Amino acid sequence: MNLNNQILKKLFPSILLNIADESIHLTFDDGPHPVATPLILRELKELDIRATFFLLGQNVQKYPDLVHQIYTDGHQIGNHSFTHTNLIFKKKGFLRDEILKTEEILETIVGTYSHFFRPPYGYFDWTTLKVLCEEELTCVLWDVDSKDYRLNSVSDISHHVIPNTTNGSILLFHDNDLTSQKVETYLPILLNTLLKIGFIFKTLPI
Ligand SMILES: [Zn+2]
């Protein structure tokens, strides 16, 4: 975790999620994706692991059945904006649109709003935090980046994940075009390794 995140968490304890518990938290960004998401859901079901999916409104609109499956499988759903635009230096109206359009469409599909928001690329500014505060959404970043979007070998991804994971960690993975052809190779190995170490997977505390 970088120093900036630590300072921000001190300044905004109620809108930036800070976890200190005895479990780890698996998160997937950018879905739902027609290839990657079903593969991930199958693996999570097999290992009886619940995760948090930060969904893009534009993909939610395209694949409502996958959103429904994520929800009925017992996973948690978070908001990852509508179009995956960098939110820094954007006006409040733009930010509200990106966030609330996604909330509304999620509500029509699963009947509930999300509690969590993850800004695209992890980039946000004071205005983003203000809007999230007004909408009672908690900003969720991560401390373990799998770099699954750019690394290909299981050992390279593993090298980023395994040594850096501790209790309370939030792990970042993706279900998108960049991971859809390889997620089946690295995810089962990584999850089984983490389980063998003794980590307990839980969704984010509300
Ligand atoms: Zn993303």
Give CATH superfamily name and number for 25-197: Glycoside hydrolase/deacetylase (3.20.20.370)
Longest alpha-carbon distance in the chain = 47
Q: 47-89 pLDDT, tens per residue?
A: 999 999 999 999 999 999 999 999 999 999 999 999 999 999 9
* Nearest of 119, 41, 40 to residue 79 by alpha carbon: 119
Asked about 174 being catalytic, the answer comes back as yes
Q: Which of the following is catalytic: 25, 29, 75, 160?
A: 29
The two structure tokens encoding residue 62 = 């395209």
φ/ψ (deg, to 5) at 46: -60, -35
CA of 29 to the centre of ligand 1 (A): 5
Sheet of strand 170-174: strand arrangement: 138-139, 116-117, 76-79, 52-55, 25-29, 170-174, 144-145
pTM: 0.93
CA of 65 to the centre of ligand 1 (A): 20
CB atoms within 10 A of CB 67: 24
Q: Which of the following is catalytic: 25, 115, 174, 175?
A: 174
* Nearest of 141, 148, 173 to residue 30 by alpha carbon: 173
CA of 195 to the centre of ligand 1 (A): 26
- Residue 115 · residue 206 · CB < 8 Å: yes
CA of 11 to the centre of ligand 1 (A): 24
* Nearest of 9, 23, 52 to residue 166 by alpha carbon: 23
The two structure tokens encoding residue 122 = 């992890």
**pLDDT per residue as tens, the chain (206 positions):** 444 566 666 666 555 677 777 899 999 999 999 999 999 999 999 999 999 999 999 999 999 999 999 999 999 999 999 999 999 999 999 999 999 999 999 999 999 889 999 999 999 999 999 999 999 999 999 999 999 999 999 999 999 999 999 999 999 999 999 999 999 999 999 999 999 999 999 999 88
Strand partners, 53: 28, 77
CA of 47 to the centre of ligand 1 (A): 25
Cα torsion 110, 112, 117, 120 to 10°: value is: 30
